[in-house]
Chain A
Amino acid sequence: MGVNLTVGMGEIQVVRGAGNVLTALGLGSCVGVCLYDPLTRVAGMVHVVLPKSQASKTGELPGKFADTAIPAIVQRMVEQGASVSRLKAAIAGGAQLFQFGVSSSLDVGARNAEAVIIALREAGIPLQAKDVGGSAGRTLRLISDNGLIVVRTIGGAERELAVLGNILASSGVAA
């Protein structure tokens, strides 16, 4: 029986097999990272809040920070039978929500997205698709059957960002 899990701020969720759905609701400046192994159908999502870990603040939630989140979720997925060499990634979020009366110090979204992209590169995981930046919050969903990634913004319908399980999909990062 599949599960439908919500991935809260700083949380990592990993599931194995078909019929599961992982959801990050209302990503603002946060970045949701989806990882998928098409062979074992191990699917993972982490809800990254900040780009860089603060000394002694990592606590029990490595998923809070981009630089600790990616190694932590990869390890969790490998424990579930995934192979690092088969993992593919898609990311969404990193918006700059506050449009009115804003000072630049609030633009943590762009820094989050950048830090996640660097961490994925360092882990050797290809980034198949990204939907980052802008000023709109996003809800991100990963369906474990085939690694389908859908993104919804306010006032919009869900749209497909990528199918990480589609081995015929062209590689490289979508614009």
Chain B
Amino acid sequence: MSAQPEYAFSEEQFDALREIANIGMGKASSALADLINTTILINVPQAVCVPIGNLPDVLRDPEQITAGIYLQVTGDVPGHATFIFDVQSAHRLAGVLLGMPEVSLDEVTASALMEIGNIMLSAYLTAISDFTALQLLPSPPVMAVDMGGAILSAVIANMRDLDDFAVTIATDIYDPDGLISGTFVFLPEPGGIQRILQAIGMG
């Protein structure tokens, strides 16, 4: 087995990270709810430190076809943010936003979905910035339609420092009618979590 990660955190620290993620996703989900005029709910965020090989397990089905919107985070906590929606949800989101009942995934719908990702991540990061006084900025989004696990692995391959373990903060988002379902995954670069914890006096 692999060695323990150097940056293993206590349960209290993981609790704090979950709470911060909860605050951020609360803002992100209400930004989405405003955008498409629907109630959006979130699950209690997962905050885990796992071997990178186990990261796709944060998705319910890594082989499911999804639309993944990926944005890098720069600033005090550099990292990688990915919204992974199942394809039907992505169609619905783009359809509502574009005012069309039926859409296919093309450049126009992709750009609508990337804008959703941008708005949600901006809300998420602003909430965390307000809470921690750290500066967090989103980069322009990119998008892919593929297996969720494949999208996540492509994001992980883009990490600047790839340790054996990675801290992941993941939150499921959905609507009460079961029409929209997705997962938000934030992967900070090594060291970023310590900076968040220090900022709230739990480092």
Contact = CB atoms under 8 A, between A and B. Distances in A.
Given A25-B62, A59-B2, A100 B164 contact: no
A107 to B, nearest CB: 10
Nearest to A99: B144
A98 B52 contact: no
B56 interface: yes
Interface string A1-21: 000000111110000000000
Nearest to A26: B149
Interface in A128-158: 135-139, 154-155
A10 B158 contact: no
Interface stretch (B32-40, B107-115, B167-175): B107-115
B140 A137 contact: no
Contacts of B107: 100
A137 B149 contact: yes
B153 interface: yes
Interface residues of B, number: 40
Contacts of A7: 53
Given A26-B56, A49-B162, A60-B2, A9 B144 contact: no
Given A8-B51, A8-B56, A137 B151 contact: yes
A26 B62 contact: yes
A100 B153 contact: no
Interface in A111-129: 112
B88 to A, nearest CB: 14
Nearest to B87: A154
A11 B163 CA distance: 13
A139 B154 contact: no
Contacts of A136: 146
Interface stretch (A27-35, A68-76, A160-168): A27-35
B70 to A, nearest CB: 7
Contacts of B2: 59-61
A120 B56 CA distance: 27
Interface residues of A, number: 39
B144 A54 contact: no
Given A57-B161, A108-B158, A100 B114 contact: yes
A57 B154 contact: no
Interface string B132-159: 0000000011111111111111101110
Given A100-B110, A101-B142, A64 B65 contact: no
A50 interface: yes
Interface of A: 7-11, 25-30, 47, 49-50, 54, 57, 59-61, 64, 95, 97-103, 106, 108-109, 112, 135-139, 154-155
13 contacts: A8-B55, A28-B152, A49-B156, A61-B51, A61-B53, A97-B144, A97-B146, A100-B110, A101-B140, A108-B158, A112-B157, A154-B145, A154-B146
